[in-house]
Structure 1
Amino acid sequence: MNYITIVGGDEREIALGSMLEAAKYPVRYAGFEAFPRPVNNTAAPLKESLSLSLVVILPLTGIDSNGKINAPYARESLKIESRDFGGIKAGTLFIAGRISDAIKKRLRHERALIYETGEWDDLALLNAVPTAEGAIQAAMEKSKITLHASKCLVAGFGRCGKLLSQKLKGLGAVVTVAARNNTALAEAETWGLETLPLEQLTTYVHEYDFIFNTIPALVLKKEILNKVKPMVTIIDIASKPGGVDAGYARKYGLNYHHLLGLPGKVAPVTAGKILFTVYQPLIVKQYRALEPGWEAK
């Protein structure tokens, strides 16, 4: 049988697998030995699992240059070794957020198909919803004041920044958007938001009760953190390494939190449904091409 094998990931991948199973796809899991409820986790070596797969789905964090895969429910560190590539069938579809160049080169040598979805607009836009809600949930839990009537700074006005600003405003917060791009600042102003050129952050950062960073580059440096309110809550949702000088923030006891993978943590079923929506057309195409007579259920 040609399986869909889900290798690593968190609860959103489990939710995705359940939806694929409900659609009558043959699904196996690798790296979920410690998941709290039973799943069709394979105990087979990864090489064997890959050899039986028509589709391999990996986390949005993907595979790093050492072959390591994020697998919080695996009993041991999960990684693809050189020996695992030999069994991959030509045409096997690999779907991951990102894959290192070295691993991609090896997969292409085995004539695998590769889709890196980490920067796909549809996936990023849909994931912005649980990300924004998760950031707001964390801010409520980590602070001793309400968001309502508070002064919130949102650094960045991309997919997450826009949705987060909108939701904060809906909760009654006074929201300021900080960005470098004049077009982004102009758009934020048309949404009824306050705006601040990013280069002026040092001058005004002391005014804010909450700071949300969405920019994946160092924005809140030591000289800026020196001027924040003592009771400020800082939520960084940017991808690694984030946009906050984490070492300095922790050293001086700031209420700082770098939150990664929020969709899978705060809304795993919704996050799994998003993956299903985006990935299923790729999977249908794969099965129609390589499984004669197959039709989606």
Structure 2
Amino acid sequence: MFTGIQATFIGGDARQLEVIKKFIELDASVTLIGFDNLESNFTGAVKKELSLDVLRDTDTLILPIVGTDEKGNVESIFCSNSITLTADHFEAMNPNVSIYTGIAKPFLKEQCAANQLRLTEILDRDDVAIYNSIPTVEGALMMAIQNTDITIHGSTSIVLGLGRVGMSMARALHALGARVKVGARNPKDLARIFEMGLTPFELGGLADQVVDADIVYNTIPKMMLTEQVIARMPHDTLIIDLASKPGGTDFRYAEKRGIKALLAPGLPGIVAPKTAGQIIANTLCRLVTKHLANREGTS
């Protein structure tokens, strides 16, 4: 139970609603900032404006998945007004506050470091990334079905990278009957691809592998699908880039060649916000519970 914990939520999208519900269920005192246009009200939560006083009283601060931008702006789909965290806000925070976000950009990291505030990026965690790979794969399959005139079954599908998303993507395609080729650099990953019954290839030879590709799924956040690689693709190849922005595709050249290339980061929050929110909620509850236990153990 989170009885006595003052949790403040600043901004976010539909995923945050699941986290708010969970914290209320666990008896935390919840303050919502940037939820002015939220139609449904949460019993047990209060809406407030961003202020130094609210932050001084906060034990647990929960920011959106994207945290802040480089100027401290916090995105919220439930608020018409802009929300901006400044250096003064961080200086006013309870020194024992725990701040949680998905991915922290330099501004947020620098402010937390300057004020010695505890910051946790949950998307860096293997468990969250693996859970999130499920809605990511489902969203990618939906995009593939919507943007091709062939079935996934029998297609020649290429997956770049055997990370947490790449492995889930390759397995799903294989289960659906696609001819799956997976590119990787690490010999260990190439061995695993072979063990999975798929066709492994080294990423250095990518240009030779795409000559018969129907769909290419990129999960590597580096420029992989270059002009030289795209030039070897059939004109009706579909590229679905699942890497974080700006992706790993030369989108300009793909458009010039008439090849459809779709950048699709953040699919969990788009195709399955409730599930994605529950993943975040469960992870945050484990982290906060562990932090409370550690704090009590040292007190």
Asked if the contact 1:42/1:49 (under 8 Å) is kept, the reply is: no
Residue 84 of structure 2 aligns with an amino acid whose one-letter code is K
Aligned to 1:26: 29
Residue 22 of structure 2 aligns with an amino acid whose one-letter code is M
Q: Does 1:264 align with 2:282?
A: no
2:130 to 84, 108, 125: 125
SS in 1 for 2:182: strand
TM-score between the two structures when normalised by the length of structure 1: 0.88
Q: Structure 1 CA distance, aligned partners of 2:294 and 2:205?
A: 55
Question: Which 10-residue stretch deviates more, 95-104 or 82-91?
Answer: 95-104
Q: Structure 1 CA distance, aligned partners of 2:235 and 2:5?
A: 57
Q: Does 1:163 align with 2:163?
A: no
Residue 277 of structure 1 aligns with an amino acid whose one-letter code is N
Query: Shift of residue 109 of structure 1?
Result: 4.3
Q: Alignment identity in percent?
A: 31
- C-alpha change, 1:140 and 1:77, in structure 2 (3 Å) is farther
- C-alpha change, 1:218 and 1:45, in structure 2 (3 Å) is same
- C-alpha change, 1:146 and 1:32, in structure 2 (3 Å) is farther
2:211 to 206, 209, 220: 206
- C-alpha change, 1:145 and 1:49, in structure 2 (3 Å) is farther
RMSD value over aligned CA atoms? 2.3
Query: Shift of residue 219 of structure 1?
Result: 0.2
- Per-residue CA deviations over 1:89-124 (Å, capped at 9, x if unaligned) read 120110112334443343344442222223111111
2:249 to 234, 244, 252: 244
Asked if the contact 2:5/2:28 (under 8 Å) is kept, the reply is: no
Aligned to 1:60: 65
Asked if the contact 2:235/2:258 (under 8 Å) is kept, the reply is: no
- Per-residue CA deviations over 1:113-170 (Å, capped at 9, x if unaligned) read 2222231111112111111111112111222221111110001111100011001111
2:232 to 224, 227, 230: 227
Asked if the contact 1:153/1:208 (under 8 Å) is kept, the reply is: yes
SS in 2 for 1:118: helix
Asked if the contact 2:68/2:107 (under 8 Å) is kept, the reply is: no
Aligned to 1:8: 11
TM-score between the two structures when normalised by the length of structure 2: 0.88
Q: Structure 1 CA distance, aligned partners of 2:27 and 2:148?
A: 45
Count matched residues: 291
Q: Does 1:154 align with 2:142?
A: no
Query: Shift of residue 57 of structure 1?
Result: 1.0
Q: Does 1:71 align with 2:76?
A: yes
- C-alpha change, 1:276 and 1:251, in structure 2 (3 Å) is same
Aligned to 1:295: none
Q: Structure 2 CA distance, aligned partners of 1:222 and 1:47?
A: 50
